[in-house]
Homo-oligomer: A and B are copies of this chain.
């Protein structure tokens, strides 16, 4: 069984690498050819276009940066008609749930199967094979992907039918963004009140306020280290997807909508490539003060 891996960027590269090390045969396509040489050394077959890479593949994994790129690379009539009938497409990038459902329909029209399986855990999880995989799939398709997911992640959760993997990822990103906002406000409040913000973070890690965001992003805020990690622009893209879904489905999510507008302002102000914990900078600017008084 050959796997076609489309998109070997920051996440895709280590994921494809782990599949090669686990003994899978991997065909690779990436827009920037020079990013594929490390994979070639591990035994990957490199192809100059997606159609060539997927021609003999029973599994097609996509890890591309947006729904639009995916549509250019794979989800168009010309490319889908090149796939082996019956093959399984596993889309592991984070895209809007409605796009995932649309891609699943397109795949179905070409007798192809489809799983949406976005991940959390970042580049480190990708490297260490410890991603959490949120799968929207039929039970039988998920069974076919099991051996692959076992290599890529430490945990695969079946969220529900196709599209719900992306829903779970949206839920994840909504919580992350709002929690970053909450930690920013709490640390600024602490500083303004004359407290030692390091001591506050340490105290709060012991109680109900504790979270991975307070631990990791809180530490970044205190160190003022906004080297990404996850960027503000990707956080905004995810929030835009969430708010678009909510709007289409008549759902009001007041905190998520508020933090979307905050990230919009952060990104408009030129901080798009900073870590998403840089939302603190937006809040500091709003208040003309900083947490290091």
Contact = CB atoms under 8 A, between A and B. Distances in A.
Interface string A169-183: 011111110110111
A134 B161 CA distance: 46
Determine chain A's interface SS by DSSP, over half rule: helix
Contacts of A256: 182, 185, 189
Q: Determine which residue in A136, A167, A176 has the highest number of CB atoms from chain B within 10 A of its CB, and name it.
A: A167
Interface string A113-139: 000000011100000000010101000
A288 B121 CA distance: 34
A164 B194 contact: yes
> How many monomers of this protein are in the complex?
2
Size bracket of the A interface: 35 or more
A61 interface: no
Interface of A: 97, 120-122, 132, 134, 136, 154-155, 157-161, 163-164, 167-168, 170-176, 178-179, 181-183, 185-190, 192-196, 199-200, 202-204, 206-214, 216, 230, 242, 245-246, 249-256, 258-259, 262, 286-287, 289
